[in-house]
Amino acid sequence: MKILVLNGPNINMLGIREPGIYGKQTFSDLLDLINQTAKETGIAIDQYQSNHEGALVDKIQAAYGDYDGIVINPAAYTHTSVAILDALKSVSIPAVEVHISDVDSREAFRQISYAGMYCEKTIKGQGIDGYRQAIIYLTEKYGS
Ligand code: DQA
């Protein structure tokens, strides 16, 4: 099994951006956690972060035929991007949406998730551990 972890805009600023909301753990800590989870589960995991919507769409399209699961935090594009939703639908790869913060308890504009309309599960408000939980969910459901 092979999983792709995708992160949208400003996730690379973790640890610097709004630590009261996103915590003090850095993007590098997140990458370490992903690598550690890959080792623990024995699953091949690649990760990609971009601040650009089209680049994320390209990466989802390129995942077709190569990956068995996607973990995605589209960040701000969660609330705006029909293009990311359509890309996920196009490739039909099982996907889990992750949000570091508890988007439900934040501004009204964060209550809509386009990617979430495709994803089979959403994990929110768990900090960076949400990525580990999402990987384990996909591994248990689809791993061989
Ligand atoms: C986020 C929540 C989004 O509303 C926000 O735009 C982000 C990060 C999260 O992980 O909590 O950039 O996706």
13 close to ligand 1 (CB < 6 Angstrom):
no
User: How large is the angle between the packed helices 129-142 and 27-41, nearest 10 degrees?
Assistant: 30
* Beta-carbon-side half-sphere exposure of residue 123 (alpha carbons within 13 Å): 20
User: Ligand 1 center to residue 94 CA distance, Å?
Assistant: 21
Q: What is the mean pLDDT of residues 115-121?
A: 98
Answer whether residue 144 shows pLDDT above 90: no
Total Cβ atoms within 10 A of residue 88: 25
Answer whether residue 125 shows pLDDT above 80: yes
**Confidence class of residue 41 from pLDDT cuts 50, 70 and 90?**
very high
Domains of the chain by start residue, with CATH: 2-142 (3.40.50.9100)
**Catalytic sites, residue numbers:** 22, 99
78 close to ligand 1 (CB < 6 Angstrom):
yes
User: Ligand 1 center to residue 8 CA distance, Å?
Assistant: 9
